[in-house]
Amino acid sequence: MSFKIDIVIPVYNEEPLLEKNIKILNEFLHANLRHKYTIIIANNGSTDKTLKKAKELSRKYDEITYFHMDQKGRGGVIKRIWLESKADIVSYMDVDLSANLESFLKLVDSLIINKYDLAVGSRLMPGSKVKRKFFRSTLTCVYNMLLKLIFSVKKFSDAQCGIKVLTKNTADELLPYVKNQNWFFDSELLLLAEKKDFRIKNIPLEWVERPESKVNILSTIGEDITGILRFYFSYIK
């Protein structure tokens, strides 16, 4: 049985990286994914020529399309595309392709073969192989320990990892309750999934952090703290 899979690539000012990595991803999926797929370049608020590059790629390849949103916010653009999707499975991954692409196939199989509702990559599980700056690795560990401490998280180990796969039905059930439009989006999605007792599969990753990463650490920390407090008082208390 063939499934339809949407792969969202959220991008903000990724002009230098976009064409090369989208081609790598498309060639890999064409050779290895046994299901129909669409790569959706999700431009959110870029001020460089990212949108122009996305349009060029969509004209060149049948499997690639693009979506444009004027305002910046990766969570917001992912949410909108997933809700409008007609696919059986929705997913996203970061454009820097830090995760070994073989892991994406395992995540998809977890839903199709093993009937999980969500599948998420983890850089913190035994078996993961991670090349990353010590400071960022430490922040990730501390953040996820904080989630476990506050929310008694048991079903996932790496909330912020940039590769996730969901059934469309799961996305439709969870997304109306996800309020964050940017970096806390991932954490909120998984916290809701655990609270509502969805089946979550974690898969250890081979992860090589790319120097092109544009995550602003300080602003992300601030947003995560705000998100944790809001979620705690909205859904837990």
In this prediction, residue 218 carries a pLDDT of: 67
The CA-atom distances, in angstroms, between 168 and each of 62, 116, 147 are: 22, 12, 26
Q: What is the pLDDT of residues 112-132, one digit of tens each?
A: 999 999 999 999 999 999 999
Residue reference for tokens 């850089």 = 123
In this prediction, residue 236 carries a pLDDT of: 63
Give the homologous superfamily in CATH for domain 4-236: Spore Coat Polysaccharide Biosynthesis Protein SpsA; Chain A (3.90.550.10)
pTM score over 0.85: yes
In this prediction, residue 235 carries a pLDDT of: 73
Q: Work out the mean pLDDT of the chain and round it to a whole number.
A: 94
The answer to whether 11 and 42 have CB atoms below 8 angstroms apart is yes
- To 5 degrees, how large is the angle CA 63–CA 64–CA 66? 150
In this prediction, residue 85 carries a pLDDT of: 98
- In this predicted structure, the answer to whether residue 204 has a pLDDT above a threshold of 60 is yes
Rounded Cα gap, residues 187 and 198, in angstroms: 14
- In this predicted structure, the answer to whether residue 237 has a pLDDT above a threshold of 80 is no
Q: What is the pLDDT of residues 56-109, one digit of tens each?
A: 999 999 999 999 999 999 999 999 999 999 999 999 999 999 999 999 999 999
Tell me the domain boundaries of the chain. Answer: 4-236
pLDDT average, residue stretch 164-169: 98
The answer to whether 194 and 236 have CB atoms below 8 angstroms apart is no
- Residue 38's Cβ-side half-sphere holds a number of Cα atoms within 13 Å equal to 18
Q: For residue 184, which amino acid is it?
A: F
